[in-house]
Amino acid sequence: MLTAYKNMTFQELFIANLKEYRKLRNFSQFQLAELLESTQAYIAEIEVGKKFPSPAMIERIAGAFGIESYHLFQNRPVEADIQTKMLTPVQRKEISDKIHSAVLKIVDRY
């Protein structure tokens, strides 16, 4: 889904990108909150414009999506961003764990 990015405020742009990255990564608000060690209510308040995250939280949000924080403020559709093809930290950990488990099974055979 492409969002209309013209005439948006700084906060509206951030919110639109946050929602699109979250949906692109198939994260619910709850899942994102868990990754950020926050609450679903806080993520919801950000997404409706009641709250705006601190710079530290913006960095954590970007990290959860596997992107640089400035991508959350770009005035263009998320889908156009080549960074969206990168693995998130969670995906990297899952792959790493699977590889580690497979290697242990091989080593245990010998």
Q: Among candidates 63, 71, 68, 56, which has minimal Cα distance to 90?
A: 63
For domain 10-109, which CATH number applies: 1.10.569.10, 3.40.50.10860, 1.10.260.40, 3.40.140.10?
A: 1.10.260.40
Least confident of 5-14, 22-31, 46-55, 86-95: 86-95
The per-residue pLDDT for range 59-84, each reduced to its tens digit, is: 999 999 988 888 898 886 555 454 44
With cut-offs at 50, 70 and 90, classify the pLDDT of residue 9: confident
Per-residue model confidence (pLDDT) at position 41: 97
**Number of CB atoms found within 10 A of residue 11's CB:** 12
Q: Taking a C-beta distance cutoff of 8 angstroms, is the pair 21, 88 a contact?
A: no
Q: Taking a C-beta distance cutoff of 8 angstroms, is the pair 24, 101 a contact?
A: no
Q: Taking a C-beta distance cutoff of 8 angstroms, is the pair 64, 90 a contact?
A: yes
**C-alpha span between 77 and 63 (Å, rounded):** 19
pTM of the model: 0.67
